[in-house]
Amino acid sequence: MGGWLRYLKLQIRSRTGLSQGVAIWALVALVCAIVTFAFLLVAAYVWLIGIFGALFAALIVAGFFLLVALISLAVSVGSQRRTTQRARLALVHPSGIEGLIILARGPRYSARGFPA
């Protein structure tokens, strides 16, 4: 069983390039990006307070995040539908390497010297 797990781990690493070091540095970058975004958000809020006052600044920031959430939801639903459609299509019509192997086994290609 350990051999299969090692094999699967190496397959994942060879295809994605993920390792423990990559994951740790990606997590550090994510935390730094979140902190940076928080500082920018506070700076924008303070700037908006100077222009519109505290209440309207809060409403503007909240409206911005509501807009981002709605756009993200629409993109997410569209992506989910495309993924489902592609998966169903792939189940019906094999493509990629599998499709080439099926074609290469046919009499038209094997007669021209392609290996079966």
pLDDT, tens digit, 9 for 90 and up, residues 74-99: 999 999 988 888 877 777 776 555 55
DSSP state, 106?
S
Kindly report the pTM of this predicted structure.
0.59
Q: Which of 4-8, 22-26, 78-82, 93-97 has the lowest mean pLDDT?
A: 93-97
**Average pLDDT, stretch 31-53?**
97
* Contacts with 57 (C-beta within 8 Å, 6 or more apart), sequence order: 45, 48, 49, 51
**Average pLDDT, stretch 55-75?**
96
- What the block records as the tokens of 2 is 């350990």
Instruction: Classify residue 48 by burial, with Cβ atoms within 10 Å: 0-12, 13-18, 19+.
Output: middle
25 and 31 Cβ atoms separated by less than 8 Å: no
